[in-house]
Chains A and B, each alone.
Chain A
Amino acid sequence: MTDIPTFWTAVYLVMLAAFTGYVVISRVPSILHTPLMSGSNFIHGIVLVGAMIALGLATTALEQAIGFIAVILGAANATGGYVVTERILQMFDRSGKKPGKEV
């Protein structure tokens, strides 16, 4: 990130990614807002990968402790986000209309 070409590559990347996020969500019926919020909540669970690297490269005990907590939080974000989204979307399945067994 220190040299100029890398910086501009990063700017391109950020711009295109922002555009992608915008386009994906811009023509969505309101009924899908909740699942999509939940789905995007799951996708930033990719933070787990960063937390793993942070813990993996940690050298001091303090860094290890913080990294350890970060991995726990990141893993909970990813799995919890997945299950919540999956459960919300399950209700959109028209074929499997199971009567009120929910809760």
Chain B
Amino acid sequence: MAELSMLIEPVYIVTIFFFIIGMQRMSHPLTARSGIVWAGAAMLIATLVTFFSPNLTNLMLIAIAIVIGGGFGYIAAKRVAMTDMPQMIALYNGMGGGAAAGISAVALLGTTTTVTGTLAVIGGLIGAVSFSGSLIAFFKLQGWMRSKPITFPGQKIVNMAVLVIAIVCGVFVVIQPSWVPLSVATYLPLFFILSLSFGFLMTFPIGGADMPVVISMYNAFTGLAVALDGFSFASPNYAMVVAGIIVGAAGSLLTLQMAKAMNRSLSNVFFGAFGATEKEGAEINGSMKSIETDDVAVLLAYAEKVIIAPGYGLAVAQAQQKVKELTDLLESKGVHVTFAIHPVAGRMPGHMNVLLAEAGVAYDHLFDRDEINPEFPSTDVVLVIGANDVVNPAAHRQGSPLFGMPILDVEQAKNVIVLKRGQGKGFAGIENDLFYRDNTRMLYGDAKDMVGKLVQAVKRY
């Protein structure tokens, strides 16, 4: 196998080249689909050529583990509903972090120098935090755990203490001063247990509304951990280093962009305990007024200009096809229909665009928040489908936890119809002033059913 091992570095270089081409293509709508194929092909050849690494043993075990992990990853990802994609990203990202922590553990159990040991410890810490943190994000989005922030007294102090002790243990693993009471055999497991605990603790107080930002950040974390682990081997694995750093940098930038879209600073996301502080300062005047489908149908059929503002409820109900039908129907009646897409509507940036694109709604019907906000005052009907926090005018009110978040100013339209499953609050757990406005009517029901009924009703007018 000695000859084949000479192929490893060239193949890794090709891999990285393909990864970059793939990401480049994924960043343009028209070429996006081919991007993942480039990256996938690269991953395949990199995996195959790694079997020829010098001195590699346990080949059978490696193959079995790949079949188990790969099989699970493939089947789970194929079976899961499109709406659950965000938590699947969290889950697979966590697994990557766990793998990175495992590599660090194996490296630290063997012989390391001060430099490789230090890098393995840092990689292990970040990987373990990404693993446990992503798992909590997955549980919260999957509904296996309350999505509300989980807080307890003295939380910040406990969290900091856990992190500091983890780092101290990590230091003792690498350099073993003679005065230290216990052996590496004690510090190493302790280091990983504390790192994992810190990931849990750090994610508990973060509310569901902030999860996309958190997942994106853990994605960057895993990238960084993978890069650091690339240095933990006797001869550095530059494929891991370069790919990991690319993901780390791209992921960090993406995280900042997403946080900016929600007008949340990262420290706010991690230490703000979103929603927990709301004492409901300003009381809301008025009451919620419901409306029947027929009345909505009349409003829509005789409107000149209609804007649809979709949110997570649309995704949950899989209502995108019905919405497309309604759009086509209204347009055939001469109604001007457009979509107002808030950057963080749904659970991920672009979530709505993806769903509507799936249903065949043309790109030129979709408008960003900044583009469409001036349009609302001249709009007859805004149909809010399963969106809540992104249309909450409380964002304009000082003292509200949402204050400062850029929203869709739907309340400026002549009529606002809010299609909603029930009277509950949004993901941020904050009461929505919009529902109590004089020009707002509530249409309760499953988004798919109700839009279907609207289609039938509009046909009659």
Q: Do A and B come from one complex?
A: yes
Tell me whether B66 and A48 are in contact (CB under 8 A).
Answer: yes
- Complex CA distance for A24 and B215, rounded to whole angstroms: 20
A52: shortest Cβ distance to chain B, in Å?
A: 5
Mask: chain A, 32-45; 1 = CB below 8 Å from B; 0 = not: 11111111111111
A79 contact set on B, CB distance < 8 A: 69-71, 73-74, 77
| A-contacting 9-mer, from B156-164, B222-230, B426-434 | B222-230
Contact of A40 with B23 in the complex, beta carbons under 8 Å: yes
Q: B75 → chain A, closest Cβ, in Å?
A: 9
Do B46 and A91 touch (CB < 8 A)? Answer: no
The stretch from B146-154, B240-248, B280-288, B326-334 touching chain A is B240-248
Those of B269-325 within 8 Å (CB) of chain A: 318, 320-321
Which B86-110 residues sit within 8 Å CB-CB of chain A? Answer: 86, 88-89, 91-93, 95-96, 98-103, 105-107, 109-110
Segment at the interface with A among B201-209, B346-354, B376-384, B394-402: B346-354
Contact of A52 among B62, B73, B349 (CB under 8 A): B62
What residues of A have a CB within 8 angstroms of the CB of B354 in the complex? 31, 34-35, 88, 91-92
| A45: B residues at CB distance < 8 A | 43, 92, 96
Could you tell me if A17 and B70 are in contact, using CB atoms closer than 8 angstroms? no
Tell me the chain B residues, 108-159 only, with Cβ under 8 Å from chain A.
109-110, 113, 115-116, 119
For B109, give its contact among A18, A63, A80 (CB under 8 Å): A63
Within the complex, the shortest CB–CB distance from A81 to chain B, in Å, comes to: 5
Question: Smallest CB–CB gap between A76 and chain B, Å?
Answer: 4
- Chain B residues with CB under 8 A of A41: 89, 92-93, 96, 219, 222, 247
Pair A102/B24 contact, Cβ less than 8 Å: no
- Tell me if B236 counts as interface (CB < 8 A to partner A): yes
Mask for B224-259, Cβ within 8 A of A = 1, else 0?
A: 001101110100111111111111111101100110
Report whether A34 and B350 are in contact in the complex, using a CB–CB cutoff of 8 Å. Answer: yes
Contact indicator A55/B254 (Cβ below 8 Å)? no
Which chain A residue lies CB-closest to B92? A80
CB distance from B70 to the nearest CB of A (A): 4
Contact with B along A58-82 (1 / 0, CB 8 A): 1110111011111111111111111
Let me know if B68 is at the binding interface, CB within 8 A. Answer: yes
Question: Bound state CA distance, A20 and B20, in angstroms?
Answer: 8
Stretch at the interface among B49-57, B175-183, B413-421: B49-57
Which residues of the partner chain A approach B2 to less than 8 Å between Cβ atoms? none
Main secondary structure of the interface of B (DSSP, over half): helix
CB-CB < 8 A to B199: which residues of A? none
Within 8 A of B (CB), among A1-36: 1-2, 6-7, 10, 13-14, 17-22, 24-36
CB pair B113 A2 closer than 8 Å: yes
Nearest-neighbour CB distance to chain A for B29, whole angstroms, equals 6
Residues of A within 8 A of B76 (CB): 76, 80
Given the known interface contacts A31-B354, A33-B349, the answer about A10 and B98 at a Cβ–Cβ threshold of 8 Å is no
Asked if B266 lies at the interface with its beta carbon under 8 angstroms from chain A, I say no
Do A30 and B240 contact each other (CB < 8 Å), given the known contacts A57-B56, A70-B103, A88-B85? no
Contact status B102-A30, CB under 8 Å: no
- Cβ–Cβ < 8 Å partners of A21 in chain B: 245-251, 253
CA distance A24 to B39 in the complex (A): 14
Q: Which of B98, B216, B246, B351 makes the CB contact (< 8 A) with A70?
A: B98
Complex Cα distance, B121 from A61, in Å, reads 21
Measured CB to CB, the closest approach of chain B to A75, in angstroms, equals 3
Binding site for B on A (CB under 8 A): 1-2, 6-7, 10, 13-14, 17-22, 24-60, 62-64, 66-93, 97, 99-100, 102-103
Task: List residues of B whose CB falls within 8 A of some A CB.
Answer: 15, 19-20, 22-24, 26-29, 32-33, 35-36, 39-40, 43, 46-47, 50-51, 53, 55-59, 61-62, 65-74, 76-78, 81-82, 85-86, 88-89, 91-93, 95-96, 98-103, 105-107, 109-110, 113, 115-116, 119, 215-216, 219, 222-223, 226-227, 229-231, 233, 236-251, 253-254, 257-258, 261, 318, 320-321, 343, 348-351, 353-355, 357-360, 366, 368
Per CB-CB distance, the 5 closest pairs between chain A and chain B, nearest first, are A70-B102, A75-B69, A21-B249, A80-B73, A56-B56
A48-B43, A54-B102, A63-B109 are known contacts; what are 6 more A-B pairs with Cβ within 8 Å? A37-B216, A44-B222, A80-B76, A97-B360, A102-B82, A103-B318
